[in-house]
Amino acid sequence: MSETRPFKKLARKYGFKYRATENQFAFVANNTDGEPTDWITLDKSNLMFHHTWHLSCRGNTDQLNLWFYQTRKDLTPRKIIAFLKSLSLLLNYNIKVYRLIDPEDWQEIAKVNDAYDDVRYTMGEKSWCMGDMWRCKTQAKRPCGVDKCECVEVKKNDAK
Number of structural domains found in the chain: 1
Domain range for residue 42?
5-122
The C-alpha atoms of residue 46 and residue 23 are separated, in whole angstroms, by 9
pTM of the model: 0.76
Is residue 141 domain-resident?
no
Question: Which segments within 3-146 are labelled E, that is strand?
Answer: 17-20, 24-30, 36-43, 54-57
Order of strands, edge to edge, in the sheet holding 17-20?
17-20, 24-30, 36-43, 54-57
Is residue 130 domain-resident?
no
Is residue 82 domain-resident?
yes
Is residue 157 domain-resident?
no
**Residue 2: what pLDDT?**
76
Is residue 129 domain-resident?
no
**Residue 44: what pLDDT?**
82
Q: How many residues does the chain have?
A: 160
* Sign of the C-alpha dihedral computed for residues 132, 154, 115 and 68 taken in this order: positive
Bridge partner list, 24 = 43
Q: Are 69 and 9 in contact (CB under 8 A)?
A: no
**Residue 137: what pLDDT?**
43
Q: Point out the residues of the chain with pLDDT beneath 50.
A: 50, 132-160
